[in-house]
């Protein structure tokens, strides 16, 4: 069964280094807590708020072994008034036998505010 694994984080500044670093940290934690193998991933969608445009956060995936052939797409979040700024969001579509409630969604930094009901289940 394909399940969605969500995650989000924020960055302090709009630079390539900050975006790649935050995306790597988030992806590493999502992989770790959900024990995701790259060959079980169908695709990855990554969105950013409109204030992050220094680089594609998808570049971070290429720094992980065996993730070369995982399809990934970047897009921009809709600009909702008063929404969280400087935010990177991941949606990983993974083939798994886990039940929906067993998936651990990861929220870091200011993004914890987005889904405190889901992001507090993981232990870092």
Please say if 87 is a catalytic residue.
no
Q: pTM of the full predicted structure?
A: 0.92
Instruction: Please give the average per-residue pLDDT across 105-109, as a whole number.
Output: 95
Exposed / middle / buried, residue 66 (Cβ in 10 Å: 0-12, 13-18, 19+): exposed
Instruction: Please give the average per-residue pLDDT across 11-25, as a whole number.
Output: 98
Indicate if the pLDDT at residue 119 is higher than 70. Answer: no
Residue 124 lies in a domain: no
Residue 10 lies in a domain: yes
Instruction: Please give the average per-residue pLDDT across 31-36, as a whole number.
Output: 96
Please say if 3 is a catalytic residue.
no
Residue 48 lies in a domain: yes
- pLDDT value at position 115? 83
- 120: confidence class by pLDDT, cuts 50, 70, 90: low
Domain, as residue range, for 100: 2-119
Please say if 89 is a catalytic residue.
yes
The enclosing H or E element of 45 equals strand 41-48
Please say if 62 is a catalytic residue.
yes
For residue 56, the domain's CATH number is: 3.30.1330.40
Number of domains making up the chain = 1
């Amino acid at each position: 069964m394909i399940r969605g694994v969500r995650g989000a984080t924020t960055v302090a500044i709009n630079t390539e280094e900050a975006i790649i670093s935050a995306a790597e940290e988030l992806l590493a934690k999502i992989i770790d807590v959900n024990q995701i193998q790259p060959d079980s991933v169908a695709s990855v969608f990554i969105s950013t708020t409109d204030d992050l445009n220094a680089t594609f956060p998808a570049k971070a995936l290429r720094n992980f072994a065996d993730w070369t052939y995982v399809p990934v797409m970047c897009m921009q979040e809709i600009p909702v008034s008063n929404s969280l700024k400087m935010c990177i969001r991941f949606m990983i579509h993974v083939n798994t036998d886990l039940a929906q409630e067993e998936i651990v969604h990861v929220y870091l930094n200011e993004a914890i505010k987005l889904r405190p009901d889901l992001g507090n289940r993981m232990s870092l």
